[in-house]
A and B are shown apart, each in its own frame.
Chain A
Amino acid sequence: MPQVVGIDLGTTNSLVAYMDGKTPRAIPDENGQVALPSIVAFLKEGPQKTLTGEQAKARLMTHPKETVYSVKRFMGKGREDLEADLQHLPFVFLGKGKEGVQIQIGDQQHSPPEISAHILSALKARAEKALNTSVTQAVITVPAYFNDSQRQATKDAGKLAGLEVLRILNEPTAASLAYGLQKEKKGIIAVYDLGGGTFDISILKINNGIFQVLSTNGDTHLGGDDFDQKLVQLIRKEILEKYKVEIQDFPETMQEARLASEKVKCALSSEESVDITLTLPDKKTQYIRRVSRSEFEKLITPLISRTIDSCTQALADAKLTPTDVNEVVLVGGSIRVPLFKETVGDFFQRQPHSELNPDEVVALGAAVQAQILSGAITDMLLLDVTPLSLGIETMGGVVSRLIQRNATIPTTAKETYSTQVDGQRSVSIHVVQGERELVEDCRSLAKFNLTGIDPMPAGMPRIEVTFLIDANGILNVTAKDLKSGKETTVEVKPTYGLSDADAEKMISASMEHAKEDLEKRQWIESKNEAETVLHHTEKALAQGASLLDDAEKEKIEKAIAELKNAISSEMHKAVREKLTALDQATQRFAADLMSQSVQEALQNKKLKDL
């Protein structure tokens, strides 16, 4: 029987695991190594010639421009999302604005999914050799906080590697599965997953084999790489001051600085202080500096605080407090930094544990999920959530939320659309992901065009659009013409976000910008509300004129005129005031109208009941 494997496609390292009977096992290479460095080296000999893993890693310093690392950070990103990264990276990026990013190697261009596919192919080959069978299906893990485009890109990478991706699985959830398998667990667990490039926190309720995710939060741009970067920047500045050399202009030296920083970071997990050594671009001068653990900890404290903010938000979304959590599980290589264990332990007021190897546990969990999907395990079930709210653009650029973040997936939302002009043949729907109030501040996912609508007077067509987030956390859109019952064609134009529109930035920004948002939202809402009220009042005036005396009528008409004036002044406060005034002016009238219609309704009712 062909084997379904679980793959942890990491920023720094990738792993493949399978189920050996009832035990998930990571598959080692011929040297006994389970972790494959997520590095792809392109050789000059030909476009298809690549090396991966340790062999590629060896070329990082000798061929920095042709050796790609941390490609996970670019998955599903547009060129403009990566501005901040570009200066640290030795590669040449192509693409403009929202275009998907491409990396230029020699005279070839490669997309991030293509590069990831090389890593996946290497793992596939490793598994096939070790298990002596063909491997065509896999579960691939992603950070829980990955958005739709990033998930889609990961799925594409699997396809490119010749794998049928049975499921895109969230990393912390995968870890919880591996944990849950160990012994019968029950209660609330928090999985704190800090990898090479991403951070996730998931809160789960485990009960009788059901693993229900209550909430998730994170930062897809925070991980061990960022700690290295803090050290690199420290070195860079000091060298610039002391030797007047900008090492950023020398890719080889930058790469050496990065690798040296990574080593120092790891050593500081057990040592109190470590020397960092670097040969300057002149190939003669040696830069040596002692880094103490406390100095390093000071550098990374802001990063740790960001992870704790995410934990706070996740708990709030799950309507829990830190002490409700029964167990805290640490996952990912970066949790070896002792300060994390301490900080997380303090936050949850509980000793976190990591019995399983934090580097392997995600791949092991993916293997368990693979077994569930192949039907061999029936007593375990994962109920996962979507990390970000999904909405559509409405009038005035305001987001109308269709699916809230932390909704259990699969989930659907339905909306009915019509046309605005006679004979209109297509309708465009703009779908965004994020927590902010305005479209421009959320991540644009795609524009969906409903086409082939039969020409009809405006407002006549009724097209029901279904937004489905499947069990992979990926959006699917279908449309049906409610009149004819036939499926309507949906054209998808995916977009790749805005310059500062990383998913996690949206959340933190939504806190920072809450004030501005509030103002804009208040104005838009007041205006909309005022227009609705005006419409209804004018309609009611026309219908219920008999209930009014002249004085009252005049009062209401004056209030209407004043409200209209306030709207054109674009002053939120004025609109509010005049709305209240109109409300007061119409109170008696509204009550009269109401009792009239209630009486009518009751009369109807009685007739019907008889």
Chain B
Amino acid sequence: METVSKKNGSERGPFFEKIPAERPCWSCQSEKVDLYNCVSCKTIQEFLSDTDYFASLNQGYTLNINLDQLEKQYYELSRRFHPDFFQQRPKAEQEISLENTALLNKAYQTLKDPLKRAAYLIQLVEGENQMKTQAPASLFEDIFEVQEAVEEMQALDPSDQVGRRKREDTLKSALEKMQRYQKDEQDKLLALFTKWDQLEVGRKSQAFSAAQKNCLMEMKQILSHTGYLERVIQDIKTALKS
């Protein structure tokens, strides 16, 4: 997918301008409709089918997000759309309220978490559904060692304290190394966030630039490694606990 929007000419993000043109108010047919409401009759409007998480919360496509503001926006929109406030309204409005709220809930839970936020943006730009995880090459050996130690631990006689301690030490040192790796990669990721944001703020055309896409590719690589490692870390923790 080359572009996220169909119209050009906005500094904030491309989708806001296209909305009024593409749908009249479902209730009063007025042409003056913004992202959320009909300007004339104030009735709530269904999000367009391609409204993404960023758009639904009125966010531009930047990755450094002010979480307090995001929460404030989410709360405000929840007050606007939540089904609790539409219980006495016509069925059509109830349905819009339900669908919009479901989208807002998912959008907020995704965007408030930096890793999910980045993964979502990549998915949005690339049009891919699922992020594949992959073991980082530099840690192949350690991952292998961990798997071996976990398996050996399971096979161990419960009375073999020495054997257990040996495996635990292996796992603990691997855990430490992997957590350090995760921390480093996360720092790299945050640096990429800033780089992306600079490119995004300066974006003139409606398509994302090649530099932006490269930046996303780098993020994708990091996420794929850290995502894989996160599971290994969980496995180590489970093994150490059992």
Chain A residues at the B interface, C-beta cutoff of 8 Å:
166-167, 207-208, 210, 369, 372-375, 378, 381-383, 407-412, 468, 470-471, 511, 514-515, 518-519, 522, 573, 576, 580, 605, 608
Q: How far is the CA of A514 from the CA of B151 in the complex (A)?
A: 13
- Interface CB pairs A-B, < 8 A, 25: A166-B87, A210-B75, A369-B84, A372-B84, A374-B88, A375-B88, A381-B78, A381-B82, A383-B82, A409-B105, A410-B101, A411-B105, A412-B103, A468-B98, A468-B102, A470-B83, A511-B241, A515-B154, A515-B238, A518-B238, A518-B239, A573-B151, A576-B144, A580-B140, A580-B144
Is there an interface contact between A515 and B239, defined as CB atoms closer than 8 Å?
yes
Is there an interface contact between A374 and B87, defined as CB atoms closer than 8 Å?
yes
- Residues 28-43 (chain B) with a chain A CB within 8 angstroms: none
Residues of A within 8 A of B79 (CB): 210, 381
Is there an interface contact between B78 and A576, defined as CB atoms closer than 8 Å?
no
Is there an interface contact between A373 and B84, defined as CB atoms closer than 8 Å?
yes
10 smallest beta-carbon distances between A and B, as pairs: A408-B105, A514-B238, A373-B87, A412-B102, A410-B102, A210-B75, A375-B88, A471-B83, A411-B102, A515-B242
Residues of B within 8 A of A573 (CB): 147-148, 151
Is there an interface contact between B242 and A514, defined as CB atoms closer than 8 Å?
yes
Q: What's the least CB distance linking B90 to chain A, in Å?
A: 14
Residues of B within 8 A of A518 (CB): 150, 235, 238-239
Residues of A within 8 A of B2 (CB): 608
Residues of A within 8 A of B140 (CB): 580
Residues of A within 8 A of B88 (CB): 374-375
Q: Given A381-B79, A468-B102, A515-B242 in contact, is the A408-B108 Cβ separation under 8 Å? A: yes
Q: What's the least CB distance linking A215 to chain B, in Å?
A: 12
Q: What's the least CB distance linking A588 to chain B, in Å?
A: 13
Is there an interface contact between B78 and A210, defined as CB atoms closer than 8 Å?
yes
Residues of A within 8 A of B210 (CB): 605
Residues of B within 8 A of A576 (CB): 144, 147
Is there an interface contact between B83 and A410, defined as CB atoms closer than 8 Å?
yes
Is there an interface contact between A519 and B154, defined as CB atoms closer than 8 Å?
yes
Nearest B residue (CB) for A408 = B105
Residues of A within 8 A of B144 (CB): 576, 580
- Residues 183-230 (chain B) with a chain A CB within 8 angstroms: 210
- Residue interface mask B111-150, A partner, CB < 8 A = 1: 0000000000000000000000000000010001001101
Q: What's the least CB distance linking A181 to chain B, in Å?
A: 15
Given A374-B88, A382-B84, A468-B98, 17 more pairs with CB closer than 8 A? A210-B79, A372-B84, A375-B88, A381-B79, A381-B84, A383-B78, A383-B82, A410-B83, A411-B106, A412-B102, A412-B106, A471-B84, A514-B242, A515-B154, A515-B238, A573-B147, A576-B147
Residues of B within 8 A of A471 (CB): 83-84, 98
Nearest B residue (CB) for A410 = B102
Q: How far is the CA of A90 from the CA of B83 in the complex (A)?
A: 43
Q: How far is the CA of A518 from the CA of B79 in the complex (A)?
A: 42
Residues of A within 8 A of B101 (CB): 410
- Residues 65-123 (chain B) with a chain A CB within 8 angstroms: 75, 78-79, 82-85, 87-88, 98-99, 101-103, 105-106, 108-109
